[in-house]
Every structure is written in structure tokens, then in C-alpha cells.
Chain A
């Protein structure tokens, strides 16, 4: 069945051409990061000069990678923990205020992040968490909660009650039922939530820009954007593109490995929500 199919050849040419256009920037940045250009760390020929320059720039690539990894892993861990417990509560228990809290959690989606960063900046200062990667992870976690809680709630709801009921009747506590019996059943949901939290935390730019003032604590995207300030506006494009490759690689690899979970998040999060 071809509702609007073009002829075979024009179709191939059009799709192939578009695909080349979509791939071109990715391929170019990989090439530009290793090829020689005047005004970059790799002056001529091919080599890893730009990566060496990135390795030693300012606080050093290792430090920035560590900052990004720490923030991303903390965000993932917090998001998984909170949404696992929250999803369990919303799917399996009845308690006063349940619907209000669930709707309030979803309402976070309605309030743009950029407009809340000013009070969050003040609030983190009051809590003694200014300029802290932990504080940054807390903020990033909050913005993952609507999707994560929704996702975990429907994951728990799709598990039949019978699965843990007999264990509970036998006197096993709810915590034990959650960890031993339900956790394996909601595992795919957790992978999806973790993937989305990781990509969001790894790539976020505006939250660290506002909340982190010490350049040695900058996560990678902020550190690479700062490259231009270091040299009074003259940008080392070679080192920048090497940074883009370092930033993009984990995202592309994770996406290609976990496509199934990404699509799953899409179908349930974007469309049912």
C-alpha cells in the first residue's frame, strides 16, 4: 500500500539527497576536528592536534569530562530513585493528595525552565548550594520528573497486580515486593527514564551557565562554549569541533544502542501525555 508514494527512482534520489544533507554537518565536524587548518591547533596535515589542545585547555578536558559525568550520573541516579518510588506510589497506592501531587508534577512541564532559573539561582544560594554540581543535578532532576514519573507510573500500571499480590499476602513488605518482584518488571521503563535523564543532563547548557560560576566546575558544553571568551572573541574552531565530537559521541552511541527505549519514551511520553 502506497498512500503517497513517489516513483521509485525520484523517491530514492530525494531521500538519499536529504540524508546526505542531514549527515553532512556531523561528518564535517568529525573531519574538521582532525584535519589541518590555519588558526587551529592542527596547523596542517591530519592529526590529533585539536584534541591535544582540548586536553590541556584551561582546567583540562579531564576535569570538564569529570564534571559532566558527575552531573549526568547524579541526575540519572536521583531521577531513577525518585521516579521509581513515585511511580510505585501513584500506580499502586491510594492516599490523600495523590492526584494533586501527580498533576503538580506534570505541571512542571508547563513552566519553562529559563523563567525559573532566576529564583532557583537565589534559592540554591540560600541553601548553600550555589556554584555546586550537586545543586545543578537537583535542578536538572526536577525537570526530568514529569516525564519520568509519568513513565514509571504507566510502567507499574501495566504490571498485573497478581504478580506481587501473593507475595504481599504472604507477609512480604511493599519494599521487598518492589525490589524483588516489581523492579525486574519495570526495568524497560527505568532504562528509558535513565536514557532521557542522561541525555538531558549531559547536554544542558543554560542551567550550568546560570548556576555554575567557577569555570573549573563547568560541564563540557559550557566549557567548550567558553573557548571563545578565553581568546577575546577569536575562536579556535579546530578545538571547538574536537569538543563537539567529544560531546556528541556518547549521545550518538547511546541513541544507536538504545533506540528501542528512546522510541518507547516517545510513544508513551510525547503522545499519550
Chain B
């Protein structure tokens, strides 16, 4: 089982000398050196890069420009007047009664998921970092839910939480913890925690793997030295493991925060935004503007704002990530 022993590097450079990059080259007695072949055929390079270029321009750059254009226009989903109306879409979006509750809910959800997910992932990584008999099996088990799609996992939990067939409520009743059937998605608080539980289950193994790779990059002799100095377990963890794991922790933080801010599938499937719009996330709001209120302009305006916020967040966190990665 591969998870039993992760390799040190994804792409070990095979032996052989690095290609000479200097224009003078090694010469080898040839009077005129035209440089390595790959530098002399730019047209072919462009040819091989062309499909990438077409995809990136048509399905990334053009939509990026288009979303700005739509956000400044009156743009009904079905055919109609498409004149500029800036900045109406933005002012309307800002005045939407559901916007601030959705922002607040999305932030609460992001904070909860990130704290619980990173905590559990770190615990799992520490528990399976040593190679003992059976460790590989446990790593695989913890990772298995990550192989599922988010929609599949949400549908799975929809069944688990259901009052008809769900297994959790009867189990709690039998243990004497609750008196009657539990409504996992029926109240705003229960719906939030039920969704958080699904996400923690689905992604903990994924983040565990990132942290595991980080743990294995910490040189063993640092631990040896700490033990020589008589450091206890907790002290070693606090002053060696945590600081040296910072780049990996920062990466999991970035992934969890940006992922949770864009939450949609799980709420669309489990709660449909309810009860009472209490689990409406920002992306749910974009979907609602576009496909229920049929107003692409308003949806695009929200998209532009979300895009800007995430871009700033990404750049800031990316800087932080690079800063700690020495």
C-alpha cells in the first residue's frame, strides 16, 4: 500500500547533467554553436502551446472580461434588453436583504470548518505518521472519503440525516442521549453543524495527507537533538513540530478558507439554503440571482465582488506561504 510510505519527492530528477544553458555552449570542437535545439525552434514551441493558449483565452480570459461586462449591464437570463446600467447591479446587490446574512453565514461556516478540519487533520497526521504495522491501512481509511465527490458525499449524508432511514437518530435514542427523532437539518443551528460534520468527514483525510508530507520533511535529527536536550513530548511538539510544519499548515489554511468561502454543493443538496434562508451562502446567492430571479447582471456583479475578495485573499496568503517556506 503506497500510503504506507510516501516518497520524498514527486519527480526525482534522474541522473545526467543539467543541460547547458549558456549560449556559448560546450562547443565540442564545432566552430559555430547555434545553441541547444529547443532554443532554435520557437515556431514549433508556439505550435505545441497553441491548444493551451486557445483554451486559456477562450474559456478563461474572455469569460473574465465578459463577467465584468455583464456586471455593468441589464442582462436578463432570457433574451431582452442588454444595455449598460452601471452601477445599478452593484447597488442592488448591496441592498439585497439576504446579502449580509449570507456573508455572515459564509464567514461563520468558514471559521468553523477551518478550525475543526485543520484540528482533526493534524491529529490524524500525528496518529499515523509513524510506520507501524497497519499504519498504511489506517491512512487509506482516513483518506477514502476524499476520493468521493462532494455531491456524492452530500447525497450520502442526506440519507444519514433523514428522519426516515437515517441511522444516527435511532442510535442516539438507544444510547439514551435524546428522547425523540433528531432533526438534523430542521433548525438553522442543526443544519449548520450537520453540514460542517459532513465536510470535516469528507476532507480531513485530504488535509491529513498534506500535513503528513510536511511532517516527513522535518529532519529526524532535529527530534534527536531535542531528545538529547531532554525535551518532553509536548515541548517537542510545540517548539519543533508546529513551527517546522508551518508551510504545510499555511497551505491547508489557504485551501480550507478559499474552499469554504465558495461553499455551494453541500448546501444546495442538504438544505437548499434553508431552513428560512439560514444556510444561504454567497455562492448560493449568485446561483439564486442568476437562475431563480433570472438576473444575470446582478449575479455577475456579486461574482465580480467575490472574485476580487478571493484574489486579494489568495495573493495575501500566498505571500505569507512563500515567506515561511524557506
Contacts and interface: CB of A to CB of B under 8 A. Distances in A.
B16 A162 contact: yes
A252 B144 CA distance: 7
Given A118-B303, A158-B14, A241 B51 contact: no
Contacts of A82: 51-52, 55
B11 A155 contact: yes
A122 B296 contact: yes
Contacts of A40: 164-165
B151 A114 contact: no
Contacts of A23: 141, 144
B41 A1 contact: no
B151 A221 contact: yes
A3 interface: yes
The 6 closest A-B pairs by CB, nearest first: A203-B149, A93-B45, A268-B10, A267-B10, A89-B48, A95-B45
A28 to B, nearest CB: 6
Given A105-B52, A119-B66, A248-B152, 9 more contacts: A15-B138, A37-B164, A39-B165, A115-B307, A119-B300, A123-B58, A204-B149, A260-B2, A267-B7
Contacts of A94: 38-39, 42, 45
Contacts of A184: none
A112 B307 contact: yes
Interface in B1-29: 1-3, 6-7, 9-16, 19
Contacts of B201: 21-22, 25
Contact of B60 (A118, A142, A168): A142
A161 interface: yes
Contacts of B157: 25
Contacts of B148: 203, 247-248, 251-252
Given A11-B127, A204-B149, A101 B53 contact: yes
A144 to B, nearest CB: 10
Interface in B127-183: 127-130, 138, 140-145, 147-153, 155-160, 162, 164-165, 167
A132 B61 CA distance: 21
Nearest to A169: B37
Interface in A33-65: 37-40
B46 interface: yes
11 contacts: A37-B164, A85-B48, A89-B47, A93-B42, A101-B49, A119-B66, A158-B12, A237-B158, A240-B155, A248-B156, A251-B152
Contacts of A179: none
Interface string B44-70: 111111111101101111111011001
B69 to A, nearest CB: 8
A141 B55 contact: yes
Contacts of B294: none
A210 B70 CA distance: 17
A159 interface: yes
A86 B49 contact: yes
Interface stretch (B96-104, B110-118, B262-270): B262-270
B233 A4 contact: yes
A22 B262 contact: no
B194 interface: no
Contact of B42 (A29, A88, A96, A255): A96
B209 interface: yes
Contacts of B55: 82, 138, 141-142, 145
Interface residues of B, number: 111
Contacts of A174: 41, 44, 48
B192 interface: no
Interface in B288-326: 290-291, 296, 299-300, 303-304, 306-307, 310-311, 314
Interface in A62-116: 81-83, 85-86, 88-90, 92-98, 101, 104-105, 107-108, 110-116
Indicate the member of A11, A83, A225, A256 with the most B CB atoms within 10 Å. Answer: A225
B16 to A, nearest CB: 4
B124 interface: yes
B186 interface: no
B6 A267 contact: yes
A234 B61 CA distance: 42
A165 B40 CA distance: 13
Contacts of A92: 38, 45
A177 to B, nearest CB: 10
Contacts of A105: 52, 56
A3 B237 contact: yes
B63 A119 contact: yes
Contacts of B107: none
Interface string B252-293: 000000100010110011000000000000010011001100
B213 interface: yes
A215 interface: no
A120 interface: yes
